[in-house]
Amino acid sequence: MENKYCHQSCDPAAQKMLKRAEELNIETVWDRYAAQEPQCGFGQLGLCCRVCSMGPCRVDPFGDGPQKGVCGAGADTIVARNLVRTAAAGASSHVDHGYEYIQALKKAAQGEIPYPIKDEGKLKAIAAKLGLSAEGKTKEELALAIAEIAAQDFANTGEEPMKWVTASAPAERVEAWKKLGVAPRNPDRDIRSALSQTNIGTDADPVNMLLTAVRMGLVDAYGGLHLTTDLQDIIFGTPTPVASEANLGVLKEDKVNIVVHGHVPLMSEKLVEWANKLNDKAIVAGAAGIQLAGICCSGNEILMRQGVPIATNFLSQELAIATGVVDAIVVDIQCIMPSLTTVAECFHTKVITTMPIAKIPGATHVDFNLEEADAKAQEIIELAIANYRNRDKSKVHIPQEKTSFLGGFSVEAIVGALAKVNAEDPLKPLVDNIAAGNILGAAALVGCNTVKLTQDSVHVGLAKELLKNNVLIVSTGCAAQALAKAGLMNPAATEQYAGEGLKAVLTAVGQAAGLNAPLPPVLHMGSCVDNSRIADLLSALAGYLKVNVKDLPIAASAPEFMSEKAIAIGTWAVAMGILTHLGPTPQVLGSPIVTGVLTDKVEELLGGKFIVEADPVKAAATIINHIIDKRQKLGLTVPQA
């Protein structure tokens, strides 16, 4: 008999928990998706408009019904306007995250919060790229100066690009963005302007609005991703390779299980600290200790720096609670399903919210703030310990699937591994092997899960196809967690999945780095804000080769994206000049102009474009052909298949 759950997720642990949820009559995200079908065809094409109270209006894509909204906006205007607003919302989530870290760095530098500055090397590196001299300054004085420059970017009233843009992006890209009028000036101002531009009765030119969508992608990148990663590394330390495990089997029946979910390591780092401090208290309560595990990007952050295992990724967050052993799931912001409290009602699990902008009815709220970070973290851990005694052992059902993997591959860690091969010129071994064809090219697999596709299937299928064709993969976010669960982030995966050329390179680097094994064929580079690490690595390679990023044999992919943030990040990747693959079709097909610009015309302006393909084998073939084309244009040989 066919396992019907394999059409919902390719993760065997999730399949077992879906069966368990059905037995317990627990509604999951897959059930709610089925209840929504058929979804609105107008909305799927981006043809619905709700920007004024005369609507909602919709345009008939078949030409039989209305062709314009009440105000006269046609399909191209409506679709472009919706896309800009989606990108602006996505950018706002990371910009808000980044702004918190400006405040955190400032307060840490002034000794006002219990967060020491851990990475003085990264502090000096960021200061240098911003044009600050470290000479004669304490690390606190230097941190304060960096925080002040970041704050000035949020106060810029002129037309010059943000300092974080000119300090982080390749000069060639900055000039291209300035010529198009899309270089970010001030994240708050640019997002406000985008919303104003797309108000009723303002812009009706779809191409002009698409340029604003590009600016939103760049706002996300430099007012959110780059800025946040830089400041987080200063405060918490730059990640180095660390061994861990992934999937629901990391949860322990005999321990207090605390799952951390969301995107803000200011809280999750403190929870790791206090879980260690209060481990003996859990033992007194009758447990064998405390087991922390992560979901989504808060999980990725404490994995990268602390080795905390990954429970699962976005789409199966409800299934973690359904194991019956989660004593507390502690959430901050972004990607948190409101349904968690409903599922928790079937078990003893406490859902604990911690942020003022992310509360859920039925959850316990602990107002986490920087000044009281230690006290609040202690309170949360003690709530979980106290709840352990309420666990119903008859409801415990932990699938035993888990996979070992390596995480913590920051740019510094990757360069450090390459330096073991060539200390004087670390990038040379990588470049030489690309030139020789041992590495065909590189791809970044990033982004979320969507219920519209079998969970993890496109992530995993695409990765396997690329690896056997000698394409090196770096990954972040829920994509990285999918690939970790599938066993693609450990040395054994290099032996099993990598093509011969890639395998030889990873083996040589791994041996030189002292692993006594190959490097993994997929490198976990962090959370979704850490896509900036990927850009920094590409910029370094382009600078070394004295070419533009858009000329490199590379591609990006968000195979199962679902979030507004993914739209902003993908637009930034295209603006960097990178071919960007999407699995699900974005809601733009209702406009031939918007679709044509994003998949074709934008390449003339920026060097990158979008492609859409849900089949992982077909997507891989397109990416490989693109990489081969870039190799040929660089005068590099193309290895024979």
- 601-637 pLDDT, tens digit per residue, is 999 999 999 999 999 999 999 999 999 999 999 999 8
- pLDDT value at 191 more than 70: yes
Based on the domain organization, do 177 and 117 belong to the same domain?
yes
CA neighbours closer than 13 Å in the CB half-sphere of residue 85: 20
pLDDT confidence of residue 483: 98
In angstroms, the CA 570 to CA 469 distance is 24
DSSP β-ladder status, 290-295 and 403-407: unpaired
Of the candidates 184, 201, 236, which is a domain's last residue? 236
In angstroms, the CA 417 to CA 420 distance is 5
Report yes or no: 185 and 162 within 8 Å, Cβ to Cβ: yes
Does the residue 567 lie in any domain?
yes
In angstroms, the CA 15 to CA 401 distance is 11
Based on the domain organization, do 427 and 461 belong to the same domain?
yes
Mean pLDDT of the chain: 97
Based on the domain organization, do 375 and 480 belong to the same domain?
no
Based on the domain organization, do 266 and 227 belong to the same domain?
no
Residue 198: what residue type? T
Does the residue 241 lie in any domain?
no
CA neighbours closer than 13 Å in the CB half-sphere of residue 200: 13
Based on the domain organization, do 30 and 118 belong to the same domain?
no
- Within 10 Å of residue 618's Cβ, how many Cβ atoms? 13
Of the candidates 236, 256, 272, which is a domain's last residue? 236
Beta-bridge partner residues of 524: 475
Based on the domain organization, do 180 and 91 belong to the same domain?
yes
What is the mean predicted confidence (pLDDT) over 517-546?
97
For every residue of 320-368, DSSP letters joined together read HHTTS-EEEEEE-SSS--TTHHHHHTTSSPEEEE--TT---TTSEE---
Does the residue 402 lie in any domain?
no
Does the residue 494 lie in any domain?
yes
Report pLDDT digits (tens) over 389-424. Answer: 999 999 999 999 999 999 999 999 999 999 999 999
pLDDT confidence of residue 639: 83
In angstroms, the CA 336 to CA 363 distance is 12
> Which strand (E) or helix (H) includes residue 407?
strand 403-407
| Nearest C-alpha neighbor of 348 from the set 395, 380, 416, 311 | 395
Does the residue 33 lie in any domain?
yes
Structural domain count of the chain = 4
Residue 617: domain span = 412-633
Query: Structure pTM?
Result: 0.96
CATH number, domain of 461, equals 3.40.50.2030
Report pLDDT digits (tens) over 231-262. Answer: 999 999 999 999 999 999 999 999 999 999 99
Does the residue 242 lie in any domain?
no
In angstroms, the CA 330 to CA 363 distance is 10
pLDDT band at 640 (very low <50, low <70, confident <90, very high): confident
DSSP-derived 3-state class of residue 139: helix
How would you label 424-445 residue by residue, b for 16+ Cβ within 10 Å and e otherwise? eebbebbeebbeebbbbbbbbb
- pLDDT value at 289 more than 90: yes
pLDDT confidence of residue 2: 66
In angstroms, the CA 603 to CA 550 distance is 10
Based on the domain organization, do 479 and 624 belong to the same domain?
yes
Report yes or no: 67 and 74 within 8 Å, Cβ to Cβ: yes
Based on the domain organization, do 326 and 364 belong to the same domain?
yes
Based on the domain organization, do 426 and 541 belong to the same domain?
yes
- pLDDT value at 113 more than 90: yes
Check residue 247 and give left, alpha or beta (phi > 0: left; psi -120 to 50: alpha): left
Does the residue 64 lie in any domain?
no
DSSP β-ladder status, 242-246 and 403-407: antiparallel
Based on the domain organization, do 209 and 256 belong to the same domain?
no
What is the mean predicted confidence (pLDDT) over 187-197?
98
522, two tokens: 């997929």
CATH number, domain of 199, equals 1.20.1270.30
Of the candidates 205, 236, 267, which is a domain's last residue? 236
pLDDT confidence of residue 1: 53
In angstroms, the CA 582 to CA 574 distance is 12
Based on the domain organization, do 423 and 515 belong to the same domain?
yes
Based on the domain organization, do 36 and 136 belong to the same domain?
no
Does the residue 63 lie in any domain?
no
